[in-house]
Amino acid sequence: MAGYIPGAEPKGELRESGPSEVVDITNPQHIADAVRKYKVDTIYNLAALLSAVAEAKPQLAWKIGLGGLFNTLEVARECHCAVFTPSSIGSFGGPFPKDNTPQDTIQRPKTMYGVTKVSGELLGDYYFQRFGVDTRSVRFPGLISYVTPPGGGTTDYAVDIYYSAVKGEKFVCPIGKGTLMDMMYMPDALRGMIEIMEADPTKFIHRNSFNIASMSFAPETIYQKIKEYVPQFEMEYRIDPLRQAIADSWPNSLDDSCARNEWGWRPEYGLDEMTRDMLAKLRVKFNM
Ligand code: VAH
């Protein structure tokens, strides 16, 4: 993380899951010290500002997204680590096929988030080709989790809607009716991150970065699905122009056939399974 962010330390289940250090990703020595101290063989570099907040702080988004990635790749080159860095459906932009977006197509994003993601893909491939660093990546859709509240992304609505439903509140949706975006339940995303790093690289045609997908929906679809389990749940639209413009520039759905063919990617959660699990876990989280 750039600079020390109070409260950023891991908590609860994450903290109990193993050793941890607070590392400033804009300080390469910090990264190298942690890698050497814990004999790290694979770095999962998840540091980034999400799409909407990156438009408010573009310089910081670059500093963390690309500066942080460069520092991570240099440490990986020196310490012989593999590196996973997520890209995103936000890496697409310009005149590309919006439906079933192919693995290889035009990527001319107009957001700083997208610029950092497509640049990160190119940098990751360069470090593999030039220095042999084992870099791998997936283009994540919007990730939905009950563990951590959303952090300033365009797809945050698909998490916030579950919180409103469980709390018995009317949901105010910032994304317009009919706006399709790819989404994925966090357990599928975590499994994908591990499976790609354990995959046999001799089968790779691509590396940075693979399209992966599980579901694509618009706000009205997830709302109707939640209403099946929370019949009194209500929603209204109050469009956020920034997030709507970003969402409109992204794919409606992804073709993930390369990830399926090159390393066996398969999603396990659809909208119904995710909705049942999200509502159940949030009810436990809020003792409701
Ligand atoms: C965002 N949740 O909305 C992130 C993600 C594809 C969406 O990159 O910025």
Residues framing ligand 1 (Cβ under 6 A): 50-51, 88-90, 113, 141-142, 153-155
Residue 2 confidence (pLDDT) above 60: no
Q: Say what the pLDDT of residue 246 is.
A: 97
Mean pLDDT of all residues in 26-53: 97
Ligand 1 atom with the shortest distance to the CA of 143? 2
Q: Which atom of ligand 1 is nearest to the CA of 140?
A: 6
**Region 71-97 average pLDDT:** 98
Position 7 scores a pLDDT of 61
Q: Please give the pLDDT value at position 264.
A: 98
Calculate mean pLDDT across residues 267-288.
96
Residue with tokens 């540091």: 47
From the CA of 52, give the closest atom in ligand 1.
Answer: 9
What pLDDT score does 1 carry?
Answer: 38
Distance CA 64, CA 47 (A): 7
Which of 57, 116, 155, 211 most suits a substitution to test ligand 1, by most atoms within 8 Å of the C-beta?
Answer: 155
Which of 50, 89, 253 maximizes ligand 1 atoms within 8 Å of its Cβ, making it the mutation to test the pocket? 50
Q: How far is the CA of 6 from the centre of ligand 1 (A)?
A: 23
Cα 87 to averaged position of ligand 1 atoms, centre (Å):
10
- How sure is the predictor about 6, in pLDDT bands with cuts at 50, 70 and 90? low
pLDDT of 150:
87
pLDDT of residue 4: 52
Average pLDDT over residues 150-165: 96
CA of 213 to the centre of ligand 1 (A): 13
CA of 189 from ligand 1 middle (Å) equals: 13
- DSSP state letters, the chain: --S--TT-S--HHHHHTS------TT-HHHHHHHHHHTT-SEEE------HHHHHHSHHHHHIIIIIHHHHHHHHHHHHT-EEE--EEGGG-BSS--STTB-SSS-B---SHHHHHHHHHHHHHHHHHHHH---EE-EEE-EEE-SSS---S-TTTHHHHHHHHHHHTPPEEESS-TT--EEEEEHHHHHHHHHHHHHS-GGG-S--TTEE--SEEE-HHHHHHHHHHHSTT--EEE---HHHHHHHHHS-SSB--HHHHHHH-------HHHHHHHHHHHHHHHTT-
At 271, list the tokens.
């909208």
144 has a pLDDT exceeding 90: yes
Q: Which residue's CA is minimally distant from atom 8 of ligand 1?
A: 88
Q: Which residues are catalytic?
A: 113
**What is the best residue among 57, 138, 140 to mutate for testing ligand 1's pocket, by most ligand atoms within 8 Å of CB?**
140
* Ligand 1 centroid – CA 269 distance (Å): 19
User: Residue whose CA is closest, atom 7 of ligand 1?
Assistant: 142
Q: Where does the pLDDT of residue 89 fall: very low under 50, low under 70, confident under 90, or very high at 90 and above?
A: very high
pLDDT at 3 over 70: no
